[in-house]
């Protein structure tokens, strides 16, 4: 004899949602505070799930809905939007989110004298729906995913917003009775929809975290650990792309520079002082370069700068400007100022070079020649006016 399973009721489903949100609260808190993955965003999303767990728990008396339940929903939605914004590294602050949540508090509070709680529910649903749309907008603007995948990510936010606005319209009597969405406490399909949306939103936010981790790994793979500049691998990738543009007739140049008397700096200041000198050079020179320029450390005290759309004369002017900046801004170490200079080799990229390595080799040879001729100067290939320019 087959035993029929009792049908699911709304209260049980609400308890399931509350348990899922409670677990998600702990998971996000661990991501942020234990694993240090997007701590600010993780704490906000953890707070969102924690507040929802309290809000959805069926044991909350109906009389506490206006005083506790609806405010919890508003604050939870605010934390969700702020968390999504932080995950997308949107530069905008959260003041607009706080203002909208406060507006929701005021709207709910204005219904305090009304024995019917439908208006309070309607106002709360409208604010929550608006916050969900803001989260969707931040995901669209701030992620680097392809359009199709971004659409999948924002779908649960949009669906949740639609349900919230629909519920607002029905609670205010703007839709016929046949379209009214009953309270989640009695409407099993509505609770199922909320469960699906809750899980899919959480999944989408996890995808954003994974994107952050992948971006961080890629950044670390392309950056020098000491100076934060491009490493040799990243420079060679940019060099190959510039060579392809050179083959199409564009003018591009390469600078090589080596810190003068770096061994002496290391001997006198120690390795910590030598590291400080390299970071100082990176900061001083990097601040004056164009966004299109590529500045990287090849290894040791040797650096390279790729200058797209720059001819030989222009590259020499850049080298001179960098040398003067370095001379005017000595390293402050201990209670003394330590002058730092560098020798430069300047070369242009030529058609036929393999991945631009020819230009890099020519600039490297000229940089070594500049060091043997007294340091603190830049050399350019023979055949042009001003074969070398002393930086005195």
Element (H, E) at 331: strand 331-333
- How many other CB atoms are found less than 10 A from the CB of residue 112? 9
Report the alpha-carbon distance of residue 342 to residue 303 in Å, rounded.
Answer: 10
Instruction: Find, among 20, 70, 26, the residue nearest to 47 by Cα.
Output: 26
157 in Cβ contact with 136 (< 8 Å): yes
Residue of 65, 236, 301, 367 with catalytic role: 301
Contacts (Cβ under 8 Å, ≥6 apart) of 118:
171, 172
Q: How many Å apart are CA 380 and CA 345, to the nearest integer?
A: 6
Structure letter (DSSP) for residue 62: G
Q: Give the HSE-up count for residue 76: Cα atoms under 13 Å, Cβ half-sphere.
A: 23
**β partners of residue 333:** 336
Angle between helices 357-372 and 232-247 (to 10 degrees): 110
Residue appearing with tokens 């405010």: 71
Measured between alpha carbons, how far is residue 304 from residues 63, 135, 300 in Å? 69, 42, 12
**Pairwise CA distance, residues 253 & 247, whole Å:** 13
C-beta atoms surrounding 8 within 10 Å: 12
d(Cα 213, Cα 150) in Å, to the nearest integer?
17
User: Is 301 marked active-site?
Assistant: yes
Active site (catalytic) residues: 301
């Amino acid at each position: 004899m087959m035993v029929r399973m009792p049908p699911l009721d709304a209260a049980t489903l609400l308890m399931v949602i509350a348990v899922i949100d409670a677990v998600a609260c702990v998971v996000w808190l661990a991501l942020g505070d234990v694993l240090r993955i997007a701590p600010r965003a993780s704490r906000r999303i953890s707070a969102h799930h924690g507040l929802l767990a309290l809000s959805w728990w069926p044991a909350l008396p109906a009389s506490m809905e206006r005083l506790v339940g609806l405010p919890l929903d508003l604050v939870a939605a605010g934390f969700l939007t702020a968390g999504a914004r932080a995950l997308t590294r949107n530069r905008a602050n959260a003041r607009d989110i706080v203002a909208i949540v406060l507006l929701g508090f005021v709207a709910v509070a204005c219904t305090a004298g009304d024995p019917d709680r439908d208006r309070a529910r309607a106002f709360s649903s409208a604010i929550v729906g608006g916050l969900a749309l803001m989260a969707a907008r931040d995901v669209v603007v701030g992620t680097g995913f392809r359009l199709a995948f971004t659409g999948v990510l924002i779908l649960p936010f949009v669906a949740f917003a639609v349900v919230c606005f629909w519920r607002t319209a029905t609670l205010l009597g703007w839709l016929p009775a046949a379209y009214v969405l009953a309270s989640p406490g009695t409407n099993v399909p509505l609770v199922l929809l909320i469960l699906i949306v809750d899980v899919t939103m959480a999944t989408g936010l996890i995808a954003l975290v994974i994107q952050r981790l992948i971006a961080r790994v890629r950044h670390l793979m392309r950056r020098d650990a000491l100076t934060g500049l491009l490493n040799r691998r990243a420079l060679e990738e940019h060099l190959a792309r510039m060579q392809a543009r050179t083959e199409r007739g564009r003018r591009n140049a390469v600078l090589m520079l080596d810190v003068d008397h770096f061994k002496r700096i290391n001997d006198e200041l120690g390795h910590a002082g030598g590291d400080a000198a390299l970071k100082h050079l990176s900061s001083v020179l990097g601040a004056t370069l164009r966004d299109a320029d590529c500045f990287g450390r090849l290894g040791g005290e040797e650096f390279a700068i790729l200058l797209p759309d720059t001819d030989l004369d222009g590259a020499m002017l850049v080298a001179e400007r960098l040398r003067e900046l370095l001379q005017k801004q000595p390293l402050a170490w201990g209670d003394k100022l330590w002058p730092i200079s560098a020798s430069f080799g300047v070369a242009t990229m030529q058609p036929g070079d393999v991945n631009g390595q020819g230009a890099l080799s020519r600039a490297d040879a000229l940089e070594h020649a500049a060091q043997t001729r007294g340091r603190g100067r830049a050399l350019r290939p023979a055949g042009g006016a001003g074969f070398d320019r002393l930086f005195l």
